[in-house]
Structure 1
Amino acid sequence: MSRHFPNWLEGYADYTAYSESPALFHFWTGVSTIAGALRRRVWIDERFFQWTPNFYIILVAPPGVVAKSTSVRIGLKLLEQVEGIKFGPKSLTWQGLAKALQDAEEHVAVSPTAVLDGEDMLPMSCLTCSVNELGTFLRPENGEMLDFFTDVYDGQKGVWDRALATQDGYKIINGWVNVISATTPGWLRRNYTETMIEGGLTSRILFVYGDKKRHLMPYLSDRVDSDDFAEHGKKLVEDLRQIAELVGEYHLTKEAREWGRAWYEKHWTQERPRHMASDRYAGYIARKQTHMHKLAMVIAAAHRNELEIHQRDLFLADHMVSGLEQSMTHVFQSIGMAETSRNAMEIVSYVRAYKEIKAEELWRCVMRIMEPKPYQEALDMAVKAKFIKIVVRGNTLHYAAVYEKKEEKEDAGTS
Structure 2
Amino acid sequence: MYVVLVGPSGKCRKGTAMSQGMFFLREMGIKLAAESITREALIRELQQCNDTQVNINTGDMFLHASLTIYSQELTVFLGYNNQALMADLTDWYDCRDVWTYRTKNQGTDQINGVWVNLIGATTPDLLQTTLPRDAIGGGLTSRMIFVYEQKKWRVVPTPFLSKAERELQKELVQDLERISMMAGEFTVTEDFIDAYVPWYTNYSEGDPPFDDYRFSGYFERRPTHLLKLCMICSAARTSKLEISKADFDKALSIIELTEKKMPYTFSGVGKSNTADVLQRVIAVLEVKHEMEFIDLMNQFYQDVDKFALEKILETLISMGYVTIDFSNNKKTIRFTSRRNMDS
Report TM bin, short chain.
over 0.9
Q: Distance in 2 between matches of 1:301 and 1:348?
A: 40
Question: Does 2:54 match 1:109?
Answer: yes
User: Could you give the per-residue CA deviations for residues 363-414 of structure 1, whole angstroms, max 9, x where no partner exists?
Assistant: 222223222332333233233333222202232222211226876x84xxxx
Q: Deviations over 1:211-259 (max 9, x none)?
A: 22222110134xx43x544332222111111011111111110110121
Matched, 1:67 2:7: no
For 1:143-182, what aligned pairs fall within 5 Å after superposition? 143-157=83-97, 159-182=98-121
- Which residues in structure 2 correspond to 1:375-394 (within 5 Å)? 375-394=309-328
Structure 2 match to 1:249: 185
Name 1:200's counterpart in structure 2: 139
Shift in alpha-carbon separation, 1:131–1:405, aligned structure 2, 3 A: closer
Contact 1:345/1:382 (<8 A) preserved: no
Q: What is the distance in 1 between the residues matched to 2:311 and 2:339?
A: 27
CA contact (8 A) 1:192 1:335 kept: no
In the alignment, structure 2 segments of 5+ residues that lack a partner are none
Q: How does 1:287-326 map to 2 (within 5 A)?
A: 287-326=221-260
User: Is 2:268–2:278's contact at 8 Å kept on the other side of the alignment?
Assistant: no
Cα 1:341–1:129 shift into 2, 3 Å: closer
Which residue is equivalent to 1:136?
76
The question of whether the paired residues in 1 share the 8 Å contact of 2:325 and 2:331 is answered with yes
Q: Which residue of 2 aligns with 1:236?
A: 172
Paired with 1:113 and 1:285, the residues of 2 have a C-alpha distance of 36
Counterparts of 2:57 and 2:320, CA distance in 1? 64
Partner residue of 1:336 out of 270, 276, 286: 270
Q: Secondary structure at the match of 2:78?
A: coil
Q: Structure 2 CA distance, aligned partners of 1:229 and 1:358?
A: 46
Partners of 1:359 and 1:186 lie apart in 2 by: 24
TM-score, scaled to structure 2: 0.93
Q: Is the 8 A contact 1:189 1:336 kept in 2?
A: no
Deviations 1:323-367 (A, max 9, x none): 222232011232235223333333333333332222222222222
The CA distance in 1 between the partners of 2:338 and 2:13, in whole Å, is 27
What amino acid sits opposite 1:82 in the alignment? M
Q: Give the residue type in structure 1 aligned to 2:316.
A: A
Higher relative contact order structure (alpha carbons within 8 Å, sequence separation ≥ 6): 1
Q: Take 2:137 and 2:340, find their aligned partners in 1: how far apart are those partners? A: 30
> Given the superposition, is the C-alpha separation of residues 323 and 125 from structure 1 closer, same or farther in structure 2, using an over 3 Å criterion?
same
Q: Give the whole-Å Cα distance in 1 for the aligned partners of 2:96 and 2:247.
A: 23
Q: Given residue 135 of structure 2, which amino acid in structure 1 is its aligned partner? A: M
Supply the RMSD in Å over aligned alpha carbons.
2.1
| Aligned partner of residue 324 in structure 2, secondary structure | strand
CA change 1:350–1:303 in 2 (3 A) is closer
Letter in 1 for 2:197: R
Which digits, 9 at most, give the CA deviation of each residue in 1:253-299, with x for residues without a partner? 011012111111111112334x23x3322211111111111011110
Deviation at 1:189, TM superposition (A): 2.4
User: Structure 2: which amino acid aligns with 1:215?
Assistant: R
Superposition pairs of residues 112-127 of structure 1, within 5 angstroms: 112=57, 114=59, 120-127=60-67
Name the structure 2 match of 1:372: 306
Q: Which residue of 2 is the match for residue 78 of structure 1?
A: 24
Q: Alignment partner of 2:226: what SS?
A: helix
Unaligned runs of 5+ in 1: 1-54, 115-119, 411-415
Question: How much identity, in percent, do the aligned residues show?
Answer: 28
**Please, which moves more after superposition, 142-151 or 317-326?**
317-326
CA contact (8 A) 1:193 1:336 kept: no
Give 1:112 shift: 4.4
SS at match of 2:332: strand
Structure 1-normalised TM-score? 0.77
Amino acid at match of 1:130: Y
Aligned counterpart, 2:336: 402
Q: How far apart, CA to CA, are the structure 2 residues paired with 1:342 and 1:386?
A: 18
Q: Which amino acid aligns with 1:243?
A: I
Cα distance in 2 for partners of 1:318, 1:162 equals: 36
The residue that corresponds to 1:27 in the other structure is none
8 A contact 1:58–1:206 mirrored in 2? yes
Matched letter for residue 71 of structure 2: V
